Structure 1
């Protein structure tokens, strides 16, 4: 399984990424388009979804990623694995989430994950972070009642900001007060594995769409 090397950080506010994506025809993407959909925002190399799609064949999985070479590579891996419940899409979530969610079969979005997003530590760059109030509002609109949002980061400040933005929206309710000790999805990302192997903490939280 060859790996493409790309830039670690991409500025979503740059002119290159301001054209919203045109979603594909989901009837041709998934063998069973009406299955429950798990959306992974900022899927990186896509290996997390590649594993999860094999473990949960009764779900469809969609990974969104702003680094196009990683998307091409991940879709190649998907094809090699013969999976018809998995797709990766190159896009800027800041301007493409709504057209994507408008296009998927209605009432299928049941689970969302946002894992280890770029922290953008400098204050002037924090507007580049993926979890903005607009994203929370759009997920609230399209996520089914009882659906879940799973957030995790190894940067406390980022985890707290993501948590607080979902806390502030009336459509979401946190499952528990403290950080989760265990990943409820059971399949770790590469970043999660390497962080835990170094003995460093991962901050996790799950929200329900109420």
Structure 2
């Protein structure tokens, strides 16, 4: 799906530093200063239009949330949602996930969410998948020991690939659902894509993978 360019997006992002974090490299080890309360920080990589991260923040006021999105033309939609919601425990970051270790100290992030990531189905694009081993290393670098990744997708191929990738990395699969919306899982908050795909009859896959101490 072609992304509609919004040439005004960058300027709008700069107008709202209270919602979109600037100079993240200066916050390494100090992210608690960005939020009103010093509490666990969960991040969503590829936050899209921000529905998931905003609703999670509303439902869990004792947790701080950060939505990480690379595309300026997408993150402005999440920004509009935050401005309207006025939720104090959620912020946005316009950045590339490969740079996360430059922004966060080890253990500074308590959980990582990956929701409906680009599947990059061609083999030559494997390294771009957010569950590829190099990305898992990035998440491990910012999560505490035994930190978790919570992953959802409607793409069966990506899900199977990701389960294999998690296992090959030595992670523990704590929860696996091959049909989330017909499971007993409680408290699921849908993303915009999730609602769209499930209405079409697509199955939603979900898993929780936990890093394990090596050596």
- TM range, normalised to the smaller chain? 0.7 to 0.9
Separation in 1, partners of 2:186, 2:148 = 11
Judging changes above 3 Å, is the alpha-carbon distance between structure 1 residues 185 and 117 closer, same or farther for their aligned structure 2 residues?
farther
TM-score normalised by the chain length of structure 1: 0.77
For this pair of structures, how many residues does the alignment match?
187
Q: For 1:39, what is the secondary structure of its paired residue?
A: strand
Separation in 2, partners of 1:180, 1:113 = 18
Q: Does 1:49 align with 2:53?
A: yes
Give the match for residue 100 of structure 1: 103
Q: Does 1:199 align with 2:184?
A: no
Structure 2 portions without partners, runs of 5+: 6-21
Question: 1:62 is matched with which residue: 63, 66, 84?
Answer: 66
Question: Cα offset for 1:53?
Answer: 0.7
Judging changes above 3 Å, is the alpha-carbon distance between structure 1 residues 208 and 121 closer, same or farther for their aligned structure 2 residues?
closer
Question: Cα offset for 1:184?
Answer: 5.4
Judging changes above 3 Å, is the alpha-carbon distance between structure 1 residues 100 and 146 closer, same or farther for their aligned structure 2 residues?
same
Separation in 2, partners of 1:189, 1:43 = 9
Structure 1 portions without partners, runs of 5+: 8-20
Judging changes above 3 Å, is the alpha-carbon distance between structure 1 residues 186 and 35 closer, same or farther for their aligned structure 2 residues?
same
What is the RMSD of the two structures over their aligned residues, measured on CA atoms? 2.4
Give the match for residue 4 of structure 2: 6
Question: In the alignment, is the contact (CA less than 8 A) between 2:126 and 2:132 conserved in 1?
Answer: no
Question: Cα offset for 1:30?
Answer: 0.9
Q: Does 1:29 align with 2:19?
A: no
TM-score normalised by the chain length of structure 2: 0.76
Q: Does 1:75 align with 2:74?
A: no
Question: In the alignment, is the contact (CA less than 8 A) between 2:107 and 2:145 conserved in 1?
Answer: no
